[in-house]
Amino acid sequence: MSRANSPDRDTVSEIAAALGRHIETNGLMVGDKMPSELSLAEQYGVSRTVIREAFRSLAALQMISLSPGKRASVSLSNGEPVARILEHSVRMDAVAIQDVYDVRRTVEARTATLAAIRRTDKEAENIAWHASQMKSLFHDPAAGMEHDIAFHHAIARASRNKVFEMMITSFEGITRETWPVGWRSRNSDAERLAMVDLHMDLASAISQRDAIRSAEIMSQHFDVSTRALLSAGIR
Amino acid sequence: MSRANSPDRDTVSEIAAALGRHIETNGLMVGDKMPSELSLAEQYGVSRTVIREAFRSLAALQMISLSPGKRASVSLSNGEPVARILEHSVRMDAVAIQDVYDVRRTVEARTATLAAIRRTDKEAENIAWHASQMKSLFHDPAAGMEHDIAFHHAIARASRNKVFEMMITSFEGITRETWPVGWRSRNSDAERLAMVDLHMDLASAISQRDAIRSAEIMSQHFDVSTRALLSAGIR
DNA sequence: TGCATAAACCTGTATGACAGGATAAGCTCG
DNA sequence: CGAGCTTATCCTGTCATACAGGTTTATGCA
């Protein structure tokens, strides 16, 4: 078989695209195996080097997973590559932190709504538990942050929308970087406590299946957070 | 220099992470050059093969760009890798089209709001132009679709939030696949015309800087579209 | 000093090799 | 005849080497 021709793009990219098409065309699903590197090399008339680099490209997007001895197998992204891209964009000053928070507010107001509608009892409990842990760990910001992040993630999961869940996952790294700033920028323990209580309220709204109030509280939470970051000089 | 140790992860991934850190640590910005493959190979005590595969990983995320003869240079993602991931997720049945549309509705209601607030006159004109083209090209769905996509993209750009813009870009591929289904699932030209007119209305709301109405129309648009896809059997 | 030319450098791809890891085939023993 | 162990085979991960173009830097001439 010959390899493409048209806009003399990079050979590796072409092969990577072809391998993507291979998955599509053959209807491969998660866990299914790709052909061996050698057979693909022969099939496309390139060296194993090229096939391997193309594999790496797909693996970077977590479209396949590679492990020694085994054939490459189709897999599913957990959103981590998106997080990498986003964090890189922030570092390059192409994206402002405030932009990220605007997106988070928009998205999470919706996940709160959906969670209120779709949550299971167990999910509601889990969400409430993280909120209460935030409160108990009031004196331990680092631990509190982890529960905060887990809290938002749990809500996203309860929204039953994988795209939202993936997005929230993608924001975690940036959250982890900015959270301490927001925490410190609150001027008093009273303010910090109010923030924590907002989480308790949100958990209870979700628990009561109050979709509208859930979204309102989530939006309010982000209003406050956004201001806190702004006052700390984070644009 | 030695390379990591702990959870004996894949060598290439370790190096890729290290190269990411290199960008971070040295404060490299877009356009800045990475060290040569050979020097990195020596520095990390691995072969050029490993460095190249790590480079490919970063290049797949568009964190760097590679071209023959030139050193790898830091670059910025346009969201295309995210699109690949998303489309793959849909193909793997991990994400439902309806989920994507829920996200789009949520996100684009916000871009409409922001666009109404932040648009320049030129942007408003451009948005309106695409809407009017959709109307003129009523008889040519393929061309109409392209203007529809460009319309939404123009709104995202006018929102002045790169994250939103990147997201809308990421959805374009899926939109291109589902758009014709939505178009055909409308039962009459009257319905299709109503859909096009909704775009005209939205353009005018943005033009009038009516943020609230802009968001409402956008939401309404997605309500209708979502129903159209549902009635065509797309979950 | 300005510019053309050559040298040095760098990436893209190919080839061959070899150390494990994984899997399938075969064999042994109950 | 079947279960379990062993071995042969296949495959991936990494390395070394080679060489054909691009690209950048240095050189030397006008």
Cβ within 8 Å, pair B95-A16: no
Q: What's the angle, vertex CA A141, arms to CA A208 and CA B24, rounded to 5?
A: 110
Residues 78-97 of B with CB under 8 A from A: 79, 81-82, 84-86, 88-89, 91-96
pLDDT of residue B6: 39
pLDDT of residue A191: 87
Please report how the helices B162-185 and B80-91 are oriented relative to each other, as an axis angle in degrees rounded to 10: 40
pLDDT of residue A187: 83
pLDDT of residue A96: 97
Which nucleotide's C1' sits nearest to the alpha carbon of B33?
Answer: C10
User: Which residues interact with strand D by a CB < 7 Å criterion?
Assistant: A 34, 36-39, 48, 52, 55, 66-72; B 10-12, 45-50, 53, 67-70
How does the average pLDDT of chain A come out, rounded?
94
Which pLDDT tens digit goes with each residue over A175-216? 999 999 999 988 888 889 999 999 999 999 999 999 999 999
Read off the tokens for A145. 């942050």
* CA dist A147 → A8, A80, A136, A177 (Å): 50, 19, 11, 15
Greatest Cα pair distance, chain B, in angstroms, is: 69
Read off the tokens for A224. 């406050």
Cβ within 8 Å, pair B99-A10: no
Please report which confidence band the pLDDT of residue A164 belongs to, taking 50, 70 and 90 as the band edges.
very high
Q: Which residue of A has its CA nearest to B99?
A: A161
Q: What is the mean pLDDT of residues A36-50?
A: 97
- DSSP labels for A178-209? HHHHHHHHS-SHHHHHHHHHHHHHHHHHHHTT
What ranges do the domains of chain B cover? 11-74, 80-231
- Please name the CATH architecture into which domain B11-74 falls: Orthogonal Bundle (1.10)
Q: What is the mean pLDDT of residues A83-111?
A: 97
Read off the tokens for A7. 């806009």
- DSSP labels for B19-41? HHHHHHHTT--TTPBPPPHHHHH
User: Beta strand A73-74 with A64-65: parallel, antiparallel or unpaired?
Assistant: antiparallel
Read off the tokens for B114. 């922001």
CA-nearest of A87, A12, A46, A89 to B52 is: A12
The number of helix segments (H) and strand segments (E) in chain B equals 10, 2
Least CB–CB distance from B92: residue in A10, A76, A92: A76
Residues of chain B with pLDDT under 50: 1-7
By the 10 Å C-beta count (0-12 exposed, 13-18 middle, 19+ buried), B212 is classed as: exposed
> Measured between alpha carbons, how far is B218 from B221 in angstroms, rounded to an integer?
5
Q: How far apart are the first and last CA of chain B?
A: 52
The yes-or-no verdict on residue A5 having pLDDT over 90 is: no
pLDDT of residue A225: 93
Cβ within 8 Å, pair A58-B58: no
CA dihedral B194, B200, B205, B206 (to 10 degrees): 140
Least CB–CB distance from B161: residue in A29, A103, A107: A103
Cβ-contact A3, A44 below 8 angstroms: yes
Q: What is the mean pLDDT of residues A7-11?
A: 75
pLDDT of residue B9: 81
Fold classification of A80-231 is: Four Helix Bundle (Hemerythrin (Met), subunit A) (1.20.120)
